[in-house]
Structure 1
Amino acid sequence: MQAQKELTHNEALVRLDMLAHAAVETGPLDQPPADPQPGQCWLVGSAPEREWQDAPGALACWTENGWRLSPGIDGMAAWVIDRQLWAVRTGGAWRIGEGRFASLSIAGQQVLGPRQPAVPVPSGGAVIDAEARAAIAVIVARMVAHGLVD
């Protein structure tokens, strides 16, 4: 029988609240903020100090009972409120505003896909207009292939 099981349950709810659909004020920071409010969270930097010193790369949330730190794990995501961008933990670091996709669709229409071969730079030739038209045709074909234009 566990004594005070409601405390363990409440602590689990606090952790769930901070990790599910995480939103952070800003970060990564190495210094904890001076006046945090309960429910506010931050991304911890790579050289943290004071209360965060043993948790580089963590997600830090202030609660009524002090700091709760959850280690950053590759694949985690958090909304960064002050930047209005997603932060994703990858390669052992928080990447803010970066995304990795196989393709990008908007309203069901693919607008970006896998990279195509490089467009050759026009060279040589006596008729510049023909070279320019050929280069432009290749650029347009690549844009069509990526779904950027019809």
Structure 2
Amino acid sequence: MSDDTTARLALPLLVSGQAHKEETHNEALALIDLALCCAVEASAVDAPPDAPLPGQCWLVGATPRGAWAGQAGALAGWSGAGWQFVAPREGLRAWDRARQCVVAYTAAGWESGVVRAARVLVDGQQVVGARAAAITDPGQSEGDVAARACLAKVLAALRAHGLIAS
């Protein structure tokens, strides 16, 4: 963290004896407004739109141009007075309206539509959990008993994952 900005979102800080503190404060609020409960019109966009509305945001693509030059990967928001940018930090998430899914920033960059979890619950019931061990295929000559045993293992695994009822 520098003496002028916060450590995570680089929000401007007020300093002792500063003139026009309201400008610094308002800039910080505008950046918070972009990043908090974020929804973007689209992601991986390289050129700013021609007629953005105040409050609209985009995730800047890898080769930005125009007013977005030098802001690759940033969250870009139109304030009505100009563009404001929030540099992505690991864990930043946004709702992508164009793709209708969550985009999240990781060490590898923005990823779209990926859900990471230890397990998934629906109405309090686990429907997906950790991957179970592989089920071996029955041999060609093993006959009906082996095939039934294999199917029983498949059904048990599906039940254990909550994908079918017990």
Give the TM-score taking structure 2 as reference length: 0.85
Q: Which runs of 4+ in 1 moved over 4 A?
A: none
Deviations 1:110-138 (A, max 9, x none): 111000111211114352x2232122111
Structure 1 residue corresponding to 2:95, chosen from 68, 79, 83: 79
Unpaired stretches in structure 1, ≥5 consecutive residues: none
- Matched residue, 2:149: 134
Among all aligned residue pairs of Structure 1 and Structure 2, give the percentage whose two residues are the same amino acid: 42
CA distance in 2, matches of 1:39, 1:124: 63
Residues 24-43 of structure 1: pairs in structure 2 closer than 5 A: 24-43=40-59
Deviations 1:81-103 (A, max 9, x none): 12221111113321111111111
Deviations 1:31-64 (A, max 9, x none): 1112111110001111211221211111000112
CA distance in 2, matches of 1:56, 1:123: 54
CA distance in 2, matches of 1:52, 1:40: 14
Give the TM-score taking structure 1 as reference length: 0.93
Unpaired stretches in structure 2, ≥5 consecutive residues: 1-16
Count the aligned residue pairs: 149
- Contact 1:73/1:92, CA 8 A, preserved across alignment: no
Asked if 1:118 is matched to 2:134, the reply is yes
